[in-house]
């Protein structure tokens, strides 16, 4: 898609600091890093979200996320990572080409994604689980 900035990075039309390329994925430094070495891993094919990535592409793609994580570890020696992605505008997704944030952490005591929860009354677990199972 010519109007997708990550498709343009994948094709070479837009400059980025590439750190890894494979037949299925491209990885480059986030232009607005949250930590040194903050890297984005994107599938070569355009998929807005994980739901849009074909099932037969998912394994290869996530294997490359692992490769990139190991490369960042080898280069920068973080103590841990937050690895994940924003799925949908209301979760903070701003670029609608699936990308996994590989975000190195350099100090202990980090809070996980659970810290994004709102707390309070979060519903009855058994009812919620049943609804998800039957969906
Ligand atoms: P998200 O909120 O999950 O959609 O994150 C999008 C990320 O993409 C954000 O951390 C900044 C980064 N980004 C946006 N535009 C560019 C760009 O043109 N080049 C690079 N390298 N990163 C970009």
What single DSSP character describes residue 114? G
| Number of the ligand 1 atom closest to the C-alpha atom of 101 | 3
Q: Which structural domains are found in the chain, ordered by start?
A: 5-134 (3.30.428.10)
Strands (E), 1-135: 18-21, 25-29, 39-43, 80-84, 100-105
pTM as predicted: 0.96
| Number of the ligand 1 atom closest to the C-alpha atom of 29 | 21
Helix (H) or strand (E) holding 128: helix 125-134
Pocket of ligand 1 (CB under 6 A): 5, 16, 28-32, 40, 86, 92-95
Average pLDDT, the chain: 96
Annotated active-site positions, please? 99
Nearest CA residue ID for atom 15, ligand 1: 31
**pLDDT digits over 55-104, tens only?**
999 999 999 999 999 999 999 999 999 999 999 999 999 999 999 999 99
Residue pair 58/65 in contact (Cβ under 8 Å)? The answer is no
């Amino acid at each position: 898609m010519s109007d997708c900035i990550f498709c343009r990075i994948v094709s070479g039309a837009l400059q980025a600091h590439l750190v890894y390329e494979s037949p299925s994925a491209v990885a480059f430094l986030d232009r607005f890093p949250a930590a040194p070495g903050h890297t984005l891993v994107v599938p070569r094919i355009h998929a807005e979200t994980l739901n849009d990535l074909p099932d037969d592409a998912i394994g290869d793609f996530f294997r490359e996320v692992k490769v990139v994580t190991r490369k960042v570890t080898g280069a920068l020696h973080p103590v841990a990572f937050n690895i994940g992605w924003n799925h949908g505008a209301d979760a903070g997704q701003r670029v609608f080409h699936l990308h996994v944030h590989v975000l190195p952490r350099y100090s202990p005591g980090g809070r996980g994604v659970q810290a994004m929860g709102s707390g309070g009354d979060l519903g009855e677990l058994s009812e919620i689980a049943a609804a998800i199972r039957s969906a």
